[in-house]
Amino acid sequence: MPRLAPLFAILLSIVATQANAATPLSILYTAAPSFLASYIAQDQGIFARHGLAVTLTTAINPSTSPAALVAGSTDIAGLQTIVLLQAADNGLDLVTVAGTEAYPAPYHQGLLARKGANIAGPADMIGKRLGVPGVGATMDILARKLFATANVPDDRVTRVEIALQSMTDALRGGSIDAVVAVDPTYSRIIDSGVGTPAGSWDSFIPKGTFLSLYAADRDWAASHADTLTAFRDALDEATRLIADPANAAATRDSMTRYTRLPPTVVNAMELPRSLTTKVTPESLEFWGKIGMEQKLLSKVPDLTKIIAR
């Protein structure tokens, strides 16, 4: 029996090593506050405590993220909700595996008019030039909806793609008449004195709507149920940490590093307060309706089937 002791110890060591082996998980994310729970879960070792060895990678071109999921080059990707619905409409079998930040977010966002452009609201945008961070992207879609509520024909507004960080200079130079922006760009424009608020989408986006989500390939999600449970549990734990004011400094440090925003900007922003992993069909309905209104979808996917359980 004594001779078996070393062998028994080795077997115990192997079992312990296997039990403690972390599951690799690759996540492609957009550098935005909405994905803050992932930043915190990584930096504070929460993913590791839930048995996950996570690799976080910034999406250089978020429009290619659905293809990355289908190709298997990443396990999970952060997608704009409308992009997920468009992918499903185009035959890609993707599902949402967790939510990010439910609307309303604690940031200023909406339409900003250049001072002197004679724009008091969306109804005054006829014949004007609008700066958007991406034609067809979420901010542009919301601007089109905003103009529609003011009976402004879509083809009467000229759109110009402008990076968020260049919007202040573009307004100051007079090359555009208005922009759609979100903090910190929104507040920077206000503080600079070159732009004034001219419209918001708070009135028509339902509370609880997700502007972005975590998504995965359906087959991958079905075969990695335990991994997804650990992922959601880790995000929930990170969300509780973020909600505690005692952790504000560490939270802002992580946001600064992952979003690459200047510390002064991050310190002036409110932290996300409606992060949640729970996704329901109701939290996606707005994007199905607006997708049909703006002919971004040929049909609305079955929202009950696009949510991984």
The pLDDT tens digits of the residues spanning 214-237 come to: 999 999 999 999 999 999 999 999
Other Cβ atoms within 10 Å of 269 Cβ, number: 18
Identical topology for domains 22-104+208-293 and 109-199? yes
Tell me how far apart the terminal alpha carbons of the chain are, to the nearest angstrom: 49
pLDDT at 10: 46
Handedness of CA 291, 73, 39, 19 (dihedral sign): positive
CATH of 109-199, one of 3.40.640.10, 3.90.79.10, 3.20.20.100, 3.40.190.10: 3.40.190.10
Helix 248-259, helix 36-43: angle, nearest 10: 110
Give the residue extent of every domain in the chain: 22-104+208-293, 109-199
Q: Could you tell me which CATH number the domain at 22-104+208-293 has?
A: 3.40.190.10
* No. of helices (H) and no. of strands (E), the chain: 13, 10
pLDDT at 265: 87
**Below-50 pLDDT ranges, the chain:** 1-2, 4, 7, 10-19
Model pTM above 0.85: yes
Report the alpha-carbon distance of residue 59 to residue 157 in Å, rounded: 30
Of 101, 84, 74, the residue nearest 207 (C-alpha):
101
Rounded to the nearest 10 degrees, how much is the dihedral formed by the CA atoms of 291, 293, 298, 301? 50
Report the alpha-carbon distance of residue 207 to residue 204 in Å, rounded: 9
At 132, which helix (H) or strand (E)?
strand 129-132
Question: DSSP secondary-structure letter at 90?
Answer: T
Say if CB 251 and CB 271 are below 8 A apart.
yes
pLDDT at 12: 46
